[in-house]
Amino acid sequence: MTGPIPLVDLAAQHAAVAEEVAAGWSQVLAKTAFVGGPQVAAFEAEYAEFSGAAHCIGVGNGTDALEFALRALEIGPGDECIVPANTFIATAEAVARTGATVVLVDCDPDTALIDPTAAAAAVTTRTRAVLPVDLYGQVAPIEKLRALLPANVAIVEDAAQSQGATRHGETAGSLGDIAATSFYPGKNLGAYGDAGAVTTSRADLAERVRLLGAHGSPRKYEHPVLGFNSRLDTLQAVVLSAKLRRLAGWNAARREAADRYTALLSEVDGVVTPVVAEGNVPVWHLYVVRVADRDTVLGKLHAEGIGAGIHYPTPVHLTGAFADLGLGAGAFPNAELLGREILSLPLFPEITPAQQERVVSVVADAVRS
Protein backbone atom coordinates (compact mmCIF):
# COMPACT_ATOMS: atom_id res chain seq x y z
CA MET A 1 0.00 0.00 0.00
CA THR A 2 1.04 3.61 -0.51
CA GLY A 3 0.19 6.89 1.18
CA PRO A 4 1.43 8.45 4.41
CA ILE A 5 1.34 6.60 7.72
CA PRO A 6 1.20 8.91 10.74
CA LEU A 7 2.99 8.27 13.99
CA VAL A 8 -0.39 8.68 15.71
CA ASP A 9 -3.78 8.89 13.98
CA LEU A 10 -5.89 11.21 16.13
CA ALA A 11 -8.50 11.64 13.39
CA ALA A 12 -9.42 7.95 13.51
CA GLN A 13 -9.77 8.11 17.28
CA HIS A 14 -11.96 11.20 17.10
CA ALA A 15 -14.29 9.50 14.63
CA ALA A 16 -15.07 6.85 17.26
CA VAL A 17 -16.22 9.40 19.86
CA ALA A 18 -17.38 12.34 17.72
CA GLU A 19 -21.11 11.90 18.27
CA GLU A 20 -20.81 11.31 22.00
CA VAL A 21 -18.51 14.30 22.42
CA ALA A 22 -20.79 16.56 20.37
CA ALA A 23 -23.79 15.58 22.50
CA GLY A 24 -21.84 16.13 25.72
CA TRP A 25 -20.52 19.49 24.60
CA SER A 26 -24.04 20.58 23.69
CA GLN A 27 -25.09 19.93 27.29
CA VAL A 28 -22.13 21.92 28.62
CA LEU A 29 -22.84 24.81 26.27
CA ALA A 30 -26.51 24.84 27.25
CA LYS A 31 -25.68 25.06 30.96
CA THR A 32 -22.49 27.19 30.48
CA ALA A 33 -20.72 25.27 33.25
CA PHE A 34 -17.33 25.54 31.56
CA VAL A 35 -15.22 25.31 34.74
CA GLY A 36 -16.03 22.83 37.48
CA GLY A 37 -19.12 21.40 35.81
CA PRO A 38 -20.53 18.06 36.96
CA GLN A 39 -18.80 16.29 34.07
CA VAL A 40 -15.44 17.01 35.73
CA ALA A 41 -16.39 15.28 38.96
CA ALA A 42 -17.85 12.39 36.96
CA PHE A 43 -14.65 11.89 35.00
CA GLU A 44 -12.49 12.14 38.12
CA ALA A 45 -14.52 9.36 39.74
CA GLU A 46 -14.33 7.23 36.59
CA TYR A 47 -10.58 7.66 36.21
CA ALA A 48 -9.91 6.97 39.90
CA GLU A 49 -11.78 3.68 39.59
CA PHE A 50 -9.99 2.85 36.33
CA SER A 51 -6.59 3.50 37.93
CA GLY A 52 -7.29 1.68 41.16
CA ALA A 53 -6.72 4.82 43.23
CA ALA A 54 -9.10 6.31 45.77
CA HIS A 55 -8.82 9.86 44.44
CA CYS A 56 -8.35 11.61 41.09
CA ILE A 57 -7.95 15.38 40.75
CA GLY A 58 -8.08 16.87 37.27
CA VAL A 59 -5.61 19.67 36.47
CA GLY A 60 -4.57 21.75 33.49
CA ASN A 61 -1.75 19.54 32.17
CA GLY A 62 0.61 16.74 33.06
CA THR A 63 3.50 18.97 34.13
CA ASP A 64 1.27 20.73 36.65
CA ALA A 65 0.12 17.31 37.84
CA LEU A 66 3.73 16.34 38.61
CA GLU A 67 4.49 19.63 40.31
CA PHE A 68 1.34 19.52 42.45
CA ALA A 69 2.10 15.93 43.46
CA LEU A 70 5.49 17.07 44.70
CA ARG A 71 4.11 20.16 46.42
CA ALA A 72 1.44 18.07 48.12
CA LEU A 73 4.34 16.18 49.71
CA GLU A 74 5.71 19.58 50.79
CA ILE A 75 8.81 19.19 48.65
CA GLY A 76 10.72 22.39 47.93
CA PRO A 77 14.05 24.22 48.25
CA GLY A 78 16.71 22.18 50.02
CA ASP A 79 15.16 18.86 49.02
CA GLU A 80 16.38 16.41 46.37
CA CYS A 81 14.31 14.33 43.96
CA ILE A 82 15.68 11.44 41.92
CA VAL A 83 14.67 11.33 38.25
CA PRO A 84 15.72 9.02 35.39
CA ALA A 85 17.95 10.78 32.86
CA ASN A 86 16.00 9.35 29.90
CA THR A 87 12.63 11.01 30.24
CA PHE A 88 10.69 13.86 28.72
CA ILE A 89 11.98 17.03 30.32
CA ALA A 90 8.69 17.68 32.16
CA THR A 91 9.59 15.10 34.82
CA ALA A 92 12.70 17.05 35.82
CA GLU A 93 11.07 20.38 35.07
CA ALA A 94 8.36 19.76 37.68
CA VAL A 95 11.01 19.12 40.33
CA ALA A 96 12.88 22.28 39.41
CA ARG A 97 9.67 24.33 39.54
CA THR A 98 9.23 23.40 43.22
CA GLY A 99 12.72 24.69 43.97
CA ALA A 100 14.00 21.21 44.78
CA THR A 101 17.19 19.80 43.27
CA VAL A 102 17.05 17.32 40.38
CA VAL A 103 19.25 14.27 40.93
CA LEU A 104 19.53 12.16 37.78
CA VAL A 105 20.19 8.42 37.54
CA ASP A 106 20.66 5.97 34.70
CA CYS A 107 18.14 3.49 33.32
CA ASP A 108 18.04 -0.24 32.71
CA PRO A 109 19.67 -0.77 29.28
CA ASP A 110 17.07 -3.34 28.20
CA THR A 111 13.72 -1.93 29.36
CA ALA A 112 14.73 1.77 29.47
CA LEU A 113 12.95 2.01 32.85
CA ILE A 114 14.64 3.56 35.89
CA ASP A 115 17.38 1.43 37.46
CA PRO A 116 16.26 0.81 41.07
CA THR A 117 19.81 0.10 42.25
CA ALA A 118 21.09 3.35 40.77
CA ALA A 119 18.21 5.23 42.36
CA ALA A 120 18.91 3.73 45.79
CA ALA A 121 22.60 4.58 45.46
CA ALA A 122 21.73 8.24 44.77
CA VAL A 123 19.76 8.69 48.01
CA THR A 124 21.12 11.21 50.50
CA THR A 125 19.78 12.73 53.70
CA ARG A 126 18.12 15.40 51.51
CA THR A 127 16.26 12.96 49.26
CA ARG A 128 12.51 13.38 49.54
CA ALA A 129 11.16 11.55 46.48
CA VAL A 130 11.94 9.34 43.51
CA LEU A 131 10.02 9.89 40.27
CA PRO A 132 9.96 6.60 38.31
CA VAL A 133 8.64 7.08 34.79
CA ASP A 134 6.29 4.51 33.24
CA LEU A 135 8.09 4.89 29.95
CA TYR A 136 6.59 3.99 26.56
CA GLY A 137 3.55 2.34 28.15
CA GLN A 138 5.00 -0.06 30.71
CA VAL A 139 5.12 0.47 34.46
CA ALA A 140 8.42 1.18 36.22
CA PRO A 141 9.70 -1.35 38.82
CA ILE A 142 8.11 0.52 41.71
CA GLU A 143 7.96 -2.42 44.12
CA LYS A 144 11.73 -2.86 43.69
CA LEU A 145 12.25 0.81 44.47
CA ARG A 146 10.13 0.52 47.61
CA ALA A 147 12.25 -2.39 48.82
CA LEU A 148 15.47 -0.40 48.36
CA LEU A 149 14.44 3.10 49.45
CA PRO A 150 14.24 4.47 53.00
CA ALA A 151 10.70 4.68 54.34
CA ASN A 152 10.76 8.49 54.36
CA VAL A 153 11.40 8.73 50.59
CA ALA A 154 8.16 9.07 48.64
CA ILE A 155 7.49 7.54 45.25
CA VAL A 156 5.87 9.93 42.78
CA GLU A 157 4.84 7.85 39.77
CA ASP A 158 5.04 9.60 36.40
CA ALA A 159 2.21 7.70 34.72
CA ALA A 160 1.78 9.97 31.71
CA GLN A 161 2.45 7.16 29.22
CA SER A 162 0.87 4.18 30.95
CA GLN A 163 -2.90 4.70 31.26
CA GLY A 164 -4.29 1.20 31.77
CA ALA A 165 -0.95 -0.62 32.03
CA THR A 166 -0.42 -3.05 34.91
CA ARG A 167 2.50 -4.43 36.89
CA HIS A 168 1.96 -7.65 38.83
CA GLY A 169 -1.76 -6.96 38.53
CA GLU A 170 -1.65 -3.40 39.88
CA THR A 171 -2.72 -0.55 37.60
CA ALA A 172 -0.50 2.37 36.63
CA GLY A 173 -1.31 5.42 38.68
CA SER A 174 -1.86 3.44 41.87
CA LEU A 175 1.59 2.06 42.66
CA GLY A 176 3.29 5.12 44.13
CA ASP A 177 2.39 7.32 47.07
CA ILE A 178 0.97 9.66 44.47
CA ALA A 179 0.96 9.68 40.66
CA ALA A 180 0.65 12.18 37.86
CA THR A 181 -0.64 11.66 34.34
CA SER A 182 -1.02 13.70 31.19
CA PHE A 183 -3.98 13.77 28.83
CA TYR A 184 -2.04 15.51 26.06
CA PRO A 185 -3.81 14.66 22.77
CA GLY A 186 -1.32 12.01 21.70
CA LYS A 187 -1.53 9.97 24.91
CA ASN A 188 -3.43 6.69 25.06
CA LEU A 189 -6.16 8.69 26.80
CA GLY A 190 -5.90 12.11 25.17
CA ALA A 191 -7.94 15.28 25.49
CA TYR A 192 -8.58 17.84 22.76
CA GLY A 193 -5.93 20.11 24.24
CA ASP A 194 -3.84 20.13 27.39
CA ALA A 195 -5.14 18.32 30.48
CA GLY A 196 -3.80 16.16 33.27
CA ALA A 197 -4.60 14.53 36.59
CA VAL A 198 -3.17 13.41 39.91
CA THR A 199 -4.17 10.06 41.42
CA THR A 200 -3.56 8.87 44.96
CA SER A 201 -5.14 6.77 47.68
CA ARG A 202 -4.09 9.24 50.37
CA ALA A 203 -6.90 11.64 51.22
CA ASP A 204 -4.51 14.23 52.69
CA LEU A 205 -2.48 14.44 49.48
CA ALA A 206 -5.62 14.60 47.33
CA GLU A 207 -6.95 17.51 49.37
CA ARG A 208 -3.68 19.44 49.01
CA VAL A 209 -3.55 18.87 45.26
CA ARG A 210 -7.11 20.10 44.83
CA LEU A 211 -6.30 23.25 46.83
CA LEU A 212 -3.15 23.90 44.79
CA GLY A 213 -5.00 23.76 41.49
CA ALA A 214 -7.76 26.14 42.60
CA HIS A 215 -5.83 29.16 43.89
CA GLY A 216 -5.33 27.48 47.26
CA SER A 217 -9.07 27.84 47.84
CA PRO A 218 -11.36 25.25 49.47
CA ARG A 219 -14.31 27.59 48.88
CA LYS A 220 -14.87 30.95 47.20
CA TYR A 221 -12.66 33.76 48.50
CA GLU A 222 -10.96 31.64 51.14
CA HIS A 223 -7.24 31.09 50.46
CA PRO A 224 -5.46 29.38 53.35
CA VAL A 225 -2.48 28.49 51.12
CA LEU A 226 -0.84 29.99 48.06
CA GLY A 227 -2.07 28.11 45.02
CA PHE A 228 -2.20 28.09 41.22
CA ASN A 229 -4.84 28.22 38.51
CA SER A 230 -4.77 24.77 36.92
CA ARG A 231 -8.06 22.92 36.53
CA LEU A 232 -9.50 20.36 34.17
CA ASP A 233 -12.18 22.19 32.19
CA THR A 234 -15.59 20.71 31.58
CA LEU A 235 -15.31 20.36 27.81
CA GLN A 236 -12.14 18.27 28.18
CA ALA A 237 -13.82 16.11 30.83
CA VAL A 238 -16.55 15.23 28.32
CA VAL A 239 -13.91 14.12 25.80
CA LEU A 240 -11.97 12.12 28.37
CA SER A 241 -15.03 10.30 29.68
CA ALA A 242 -16.05 9.30 26.15
CA LYS A 243 -12.56 8.01 25.41
CA LEU A 244 -12.12 6.30 28.78
CA ARG A 245 -15.06 4.03 27.98
CA ARG A 246 -13.12 2.78 24.95
CA LEU A 247 -9.61 2.81 26.37
CA ALA A 248 -9.41 -0.87 27.33
CA GLY A 249 -10.31 -1.85 23.77
CA TRP A 250 -7.87 0.62 22.28
CA ASN A 251 -5.08 -0.62 24.54
CA ALA A 252 -5.84 -4.21 23.52
CA ALA A 253 -5.53 -3.16 19.86
CA ARG A 254 -2.18 -1.52 20.65
CA ARG A 255 -0.95 -4.76 22.24
CA GLU A 256 -2.00 -6.72 19.18
CA ALA A 257 -0.18 -4.27 16.91
CA ALA A 258 2.94 -4.37 19.10
CA ASP A 259 2.98 -8.18 18.94
CA ARG A 260 2.70 -7.96 15.17
CA TYR A 261 5.64 -5.55 14.94
CA THR A 262 7.75 -7.82 17.15
CA ALA A 263 6.98 -10.84 14.97
CA LEU A 264 7.69 -8.99 11.73
CA LEU A 265 10.92 -7.44 13.03
CA SER A 266 12.22 -10.72 14.43
CA GLU A 267 13.45 -11.53 10.93
CA VAL A 268 15.25 -8.19 10.47
CA ASP A 269 18.90 -8.20 11.54
CA GLY A 270 20.10 -4.97 13.13
CA VAL A 271 16.85 -4.07 14.87
CA VAL A 272 16.43 -4.54 18.63
CA THR A 273 12.77 -4.85 19.61
CA PRO A 274 11.37 -3.69 22.98
CA VAL A 275 11.90 -5.74 26.13
CA VAL A 276 8.94 -6.06 28.49
CA ALA A 277 9.85 -6.27 32.16
CA GLU A 278 8.64 -9.31 34.10
CA GLY A 279 5.20 -8.73 35.56
CA ASN A 280 4.32 -5.93 33.14
CA VAL A 281 1.35 -5.77 30.79
CA PRO A 282 2.15 -2.67 28.71
CA VAL A 283 -0.28 -0.45 26.86
CA TRP A 284 2.30 0.48 24.18
CA HIS A 285 1.99 4.24 24.20
CA LEU A 286 5.01 3.98 21.93
CA TYR A 287 6.67 1.08 20.13
CA VAL A 288 10.37 1.89 20.38
CA VAL A 289 13.06 -0.13 18.62
CA ARG A 290 16.82 0.39 18.56
CA VAL A 291 18.96 0.64 15.44
CA ALA A 292 22.63 1.55 15.17
CA ASP A 293 22.36 4.19 12.42
CA ARG A 294 19.10 5.63 13.73
CA ASP A 295 19.12 9.01 12.00
CA THR A 296 19.65 7.44 8.57
CA VAL A 297 16.80 4.99 9.14
CA LEU A 298 14.56 7.79 10.42
CA GLY A 299 15.32 9.87 7.34
CA LYS A 300 14.38 7.02 5.01
CA LEU A 301 11.11 6.43 6.87
CA HIS A 302 10.22 10.11 6.57
CA ALA A 303 11.14 10.08 2.88
CA GLU A 304 8.56 7.32 2.42
CA GLY A 305 5.86 9.29 4.24
CA ILE A 306 6.10 7.27 7.45
CA GLY A 307 5.80 9.32 10.63
CA ALA A 308 8.43 7.77 12.87
CA GLY A 309 9.84 9.73 15.82
CA ILE A 310 12.39 9.78 18.65
CA HIS A 311 11.37 9.66 22.32
CA TYR A 312 13.76 11.09 23.50
CA PRO A 313 16.95 12.05 21.65
CA THR A 314 18.62 14.09 24.41
CA PRO A 315 18.89 12.87 28.01
CA VAL A 316 17.98 15.49 30.60
CA HIS A 317 21.58 16.16 31.70
CA LEU A 318 22.61 17.10 28.14
CA THR A 319 19.85 19.69 27.67
CA GLY A 320 20.62 23.37 28.03
CA ALA A 321 17.90 23.70 30.64
CA PHE A 322 19.83 21.46 33.05
CA ALA A 323 23.39 22.37 32.10
CA ASP A 324 23.84 23.78 35.61
CA LEU A 325 23.88 20.22 36.95
CA GLY A 326 27.39 20.03 35.52
CA LEU A 327 26.93 16.55 34.07
CA GLY A 328 28.48 16.05 30.67
CA ALA A 329 28.52 13.24 28.15
CA GLY A 330 29.33 9.89 29.73
CA ALA A 331 27.51 10.57 33.00
CA PHE A 332 24.69 8.14 32.18
CA PRO A 333 25.90 5.76 29.44
CA ASN A 334 22.71 3.71 29.13
CA ALA A 335 20.49 6.76 28.68
CA GLU A 336 22.95 8.29 26.23
CA LEU A 337 23.19 5.12 24.12
CA LEU A 338 19.40 4.92 23.98
CA GLY A 339 19.24 8.55 22.91
CA ARG A 340 21.40 7.68 19.90
CA GLU A 341 19.59 4.49 18.89
CA ILE A 342 15.90 4.65 19.80
CA LEU A 343 13.27 4.95 17.08
CA SER A 344 9.51 5.14 17.64
CA LEU A 345 7.49 3.41 14.92
CA PRO A 346 3.89 4.37 14.05
CA LEU A 347 1.45 2.83 16.52
CA PHE A 348 -2.21 3.56 17.19
CA PRO A 349 -5.25 1.35 17.75
CA GLU A 350 -6.44 1.62 14.16
CA ILE A 351 -3.13 0.80 12.45
CA THR A 352 -3.58 -1.98 9.91
CA PRO A 353 -1.41 -5.05 9.31
CA ALA A 354 -0.67 -3.72 5.81
CA GLN A 355 0.56 -0.43 7.24
CA GLN A 356 2.79 -2.24 9.70
CA GLU A 357 4.19 -4.48 6.99
CA ARG A 358 5.07 -1.41 4.95
CA VAL A 359 6.76 0.23 7.95
CA VAL A 360 8.83 -2.89 8.61
CA SER A 361 9.73 -3.21 4.93
CA VAL A 362 11.14 0.32 4.87
CA VAL A 363 13.00 -0.23 8.15
CA ALA A 364 14.50 -3.47 6.84
CA ASP A 365 15.65 -1.85 3.59
CA ALA A 366 17.15 1.08 5.47
CA VAL A 367 19.03 -1.12 7.95
CA ARG A 368 20.37 -3.43 5.25
CA SER A 369 21.60 -0.55 3.11
Residue 179: its pLDDT value, please? 98
Last residue of a domain, one of 241, 273, 299: 241
- Share above pLDDT 70 across residues of the chain, in percent, rounded to a whole number: 100
Residue 2: its pLDDT value, please? 75
Is 5 among the domain residues? no
> Chain-wide mean pLDDT for the chain?
97
Would the pLDDT of 137 be above 60?
yes
Dist CA 256 CA 161 (whole Å): 18
Q: Are strands 154-158 and 127-130 parallel, antiparallel or unpaired?
A: parallel
Would the pLDDT of 1 be above 60?
no
Q: Does 282 lie in the same domain as 264? A: yes
Q: In what order do the strands lie in the sheet with 271-272?
A: 271-272, 287-291, 342-345
- Asked if omega into 312 is within 30° of 0 (cis), the reply is yes
In the structure, what pLDDT confidence band is assigned to residue 168 with cuts at 50, 70 and 90? Answer: very high
Is 71 among the domain residues? yes
Domain count for the chain, please give it: 2
In the structure, what pLDDT confidence band is assigned to residue 133 with cuts at 50, 70 and 90? Answer: very high
The answer to whether 253 and 349 have CB atoms below 8 angstroms apart is yes
Contacts of 315 (CB under 8 A, 6+ apart): 85, 86, 104, 332, 335, 336, 339
Q: Are strands 80-84 and 271-272 parallel, antiparallel or unpaired?
A: unpaired
Last residue of a domain, one of 222, 241, 260: 241
Give the model confidence (pLDDT) of 187-196 as tens digits. 999 999 999 9
Per-residue pLDDT averaged across 138-148, rounded? Answer: 98
Q: Does 29 lie in the same domain as 172? A: yes
Dist CA 100 CA 279 (whole Å): 33
Domain that includes residue 103, residue range: 10-241
The closest alpha carbon to 198, from 24, 8, 44, belongs to 44
Residue 75: its pLDDT value, please? 98
pTM of the model: 0.97
Q: Does 42 lie in the same domain as 17? A: yes
In the structure, what pLDDT confidence band is assigned to residue 138 with cuts at 50, 70 and 90? Answer: very high
Residue 205: its pLDDT value, please? 98
Residue 76: its pLDDT value, please? 98
Per-residue pLDDT averaged across 221-229, rounded? Answer: 95
In this structure, which amino acid lies at residue 120?
Answer: A
Alpha-carbon distances, residue 81 vs 16, 78, 169 (angstroms): 40, 10, 27
Compute, in degrees rounded to 10, the torsion defined by CA atoms 342, 348, 349, 350: -130
| CATH code of the domain containing 336 | 3.90.1150.10
Give the model confidence (pLDDT) of 9-20 as tens digits. 999 999 999 999
Q: Does 268 lie in the same domain as 205? A: no
Compute, in degrees rounded to 10, the torsion defined by CA atoms 7, 12, 17, 21: 80
Dist CA 287 CA 303 (whole Å): 20
Give the model confidence (pLDDT) of 310-322 as tens digits. 999 999 999 999 9
CA angle, 208 as apex, 219 and 170 as ends, to 5°? 130
Per-residue pLDDT averaged across 62-71, rounded? Answer: 98
In the structure, what pLDDT confidence band is assigned to residue 369 with cuts at 50, 70 and 90? Answer: confident
- Share above pLDDT 90 across residues of the chain, in percent, rounded to a whole number: 99
| CATH code of the domain containing 99 | 3.40.640.10
DSSP 8-state class, residue 248 = H
Give the model confidence (pLDDT) of 256-306 as tens digits. 999 999 999 999 999 999 999 999 999 999 999 999 999 999 999 999 999
The DSSP line for 1-55 is --S-B-SS-HHHHHHHHHHHHHHHHHHHHHHT--BS-HHHHHHHHHHHHHHT-SE
Strands (E), 23-153: 55-59, 80-84, 101-105, 127-130
Q: Does 161 lie in the same domain as 94? A: yes
Question: b or e along 349-367 (b: 16 or more beta carbons within 10 Å of the residue's beta carbon)?
Answer: bebeeebbebbbebbbebb
Per-residue pLDDT averaged across 122-129, rounded? Answer: 98
Alpha-carbon distances, residue 116 vs 93, 113, 292 (angstroms): 21, 9, 27
